Amino acid sequence: MDIVTDLSTKIAEATVPDEIDLAPLIAEAFIRGGKEKESLFGRQESTELGAFGLFEGILLFPWILKGIAVASPFILKILSVDDENLSIINNLLSICDKLKIKEINSKLPERYSSVLTTVFNTFSTELKASGLPDEQCEKVISNVVITLLKDPSVSVIFVEKVAGSK
pLDDT on residue 146: 86
Per the prediction, the chain carries an average pLDDT of 80
Q: List the one residue out of 141, 128, 132 whose CA is nearest residue 11.
A: 141
Task: Tell me what percent of the chain is helix, strand and coil, each rounded to the nearest 5.
Answer: 70, 0, 30
Q: Which of 40-44, 145-149, 154-158 has the lowest mean pLDDT?
A: 40-44
**Lowest-pLDDT choice from 27-41, 67-81, 92-106, 108-122:** 92-106
| Distance in angstroms (rounded) separating the CA atoms of residues 124 and 118 | 10
- Assign residue 65 a region (left: φ > 0; alpha: ψ between -120 and 50; beta: otherwise): alpha
In the predicted model, what is the mean pLDDT of residues 93-98?
A: 56
pLDDT of residue 6: 96
Give the other-Cβ count within 10 Å of 84's Cβ.
Answer: 7
State pLDDT tens for residues 2-46.
Answer: 999 999 999 999 999 999 999 999 999 999 999 999 988 876 544
Q: How many CB atoms lie within 10 A of CB 4?
A: 18
Q: Where is mean pLDDT largest: 47-51, 103-107, 161-165?
A: 161-165
pLDDT score, position 101: 47
What pLDDT is attached to residue 29? 94
pLDDT band at 71 (very low <50, low <70, confident <90, very high): very high
